[in-house]
Amino acid sequence: MATLAQDRVRSVGDTRFFTIMAFVMGLTIVGAFSMHLAMGRSTFAVPWPYHFHGVVFMGWIGLYLAQAVTIGTGNRALHARLGKLAYAYVPLMLVAGTVIMITVARINGGPFFFAANEFLISNLAVLYCFGGLAFWSLRQRRHTGWHRRLMLCAMAILTGPGLGRILPLPLLIPNAWTISIVATWIFPVIGMIADLRRTGRVHPAYWWGFGAYVATFLASMLLAYSPLGYALTHWVIDGTPGAARPMEPFLPPGFAM
């Protein structure tokens, strides 16, 4: 009896933790983009792929938070119904993400504080890592421990653009891309620490999910700086305005924070 009560308390605490983490990650993204918009660093006067990407990805944040709330309030039926939307929504995100990355690479070669090959090759790789982890999480929805931890690892990947707008990336050249990725690892690490504190061990879902993310990033960087990576980058941007910038990160003339 005491064991059952202890398990119930642990389950409630576990659910509360993942609900809080969902809101922290979601607000990190929304807050960072809103801050840049308020500061005049972002604008709505951009080509349609930017709007397509923004609507789709912000929609995912809404869905993710709705899932956290529904399971947190015990509405498992609605949680399951909303979860089915993700099977169609994740592929839509991969399309929207691919389109915006190629569009940005061709317009300006990517943010100046990232190498063009890093922005294109590694960025696409971690996007598809998100897709893989999200689908894996959905397939494990009957196994709550795996499902929620794999989805946390997937969602952590999406915090990169938000954290990148908070960090002083121009001051972190030439390692801005690596630092912006490593910053997102804080969320799975927090989850692993929480597991250790609650149960005395790290759930294997973190080792697999976080490990897949780290491995994807390392492999993507090797590819980005290989002859094939450079060739792919040139294939995408050559003949476009994006090819006018240096391949490596740089500070534009007269730049000031």
**pLDDT tens, residue by residue, 185-202:** 999 999 999 999 999 999
Least confident of 73-87, 148-162, 181-195, 236-250: 73-87
What's the confidence (pLDDT) of residue 3?
Answer: 40
How much of the chain exceeds pLDDT 90, in percent? Answer: 85
pLDDT surpasses 90 at 51: yes
Task: Identify the residue with better confidence: 37 or 32.
Answer: 32
pLDDT surpasses 50 at 132: yes
What's the confidence (pLDDT) of residue 8?
Answer: 44
pTM of the predicted protein model: 0.92
**If DSSP states are collapsed to H, E and C, what string results for the chain?**
CHHHHHHHHHHHHHHHHHHHHHHHHHHHHHHHHHHHHHCCCCCCCCCHHHHHHHHHHHHHHHHHHHHHHHHHCCCHHHHHHHHHHHHHHHHHHHHHHHHHHHHHHHHHCCCCCCCHHHHHHHHHHHHHHHHHHHHHHHHCCCCHHHHHHHHHHHHHHHCHHHHHHHCCHHHHCCCHHHHHHHHHCHHHHHHHHHHHHHHCCCCHHHHHHHHHHHHHHHHHHHHHCCHHHHHHHHHHHCCCHHHHCCCCCCCCCCCCC
How do the domains of the chain map onto residue ranges?
A: 11-244
Q: Span 14-33, mean pLDDT?
A: 94
